[in-house]
Amino acid sequence: MSEQQANNPLHGVTLEQIVNSLVEHYGWDDLGIRIQIRCFNSDPSVKSSLKFLRRTPWARKKVERLYLDTQKD
């Protein structure tokens, strides 16, 4: 199991850290443009975003992908 996690770039990074990093990097407005989901566009907050992303796997994958792309830069 640890060998699998060693290759996982998100290992040890919480969803809250990911959202906070993206908000810091892009801001809510630009983040809402890049990923078209209501929790980023309509009265955005970290708490509401986390609640939605934890229940919605497709949206979480988009957020994680954007985070990884942002970390490469």
Instruction: Report how far Cα 52 is from the mean position of its chain's Cα atoms.
Output: 11
Compute the distance between CA of residue 5 and CA of residue 51 in angstroms, rounded to an integer: 25
Mind listing the pLDDT tens digit for each residue in 9-25? 898 999 999 999 999 99
Q: Which two tokens stand for residue 53?
A: 């992303």
Kindly list the domain boundaries of the chain, sorted by start residue: 14-72
Q: Which two tokens stand for residue 52?
A: 């939605």
Q: H/E element holding 9?
A: none
Q: Identify the residue whose tokens are 């009265």.
A: 43
Select from 1.20.1290.10, 3.20.20.140, 1.10.720.30, 1.10.3720.10 the CATH code of 14-72.
1.10.720.30
Mind listing the pLDDT tens digit for each residue in 22-51? 999 999 999 999 999 999 999 999 999 999
Residues whose CB falls within 8 Å of the CB of residue 17, separated by 6 or more in sequence, listed in order:
none
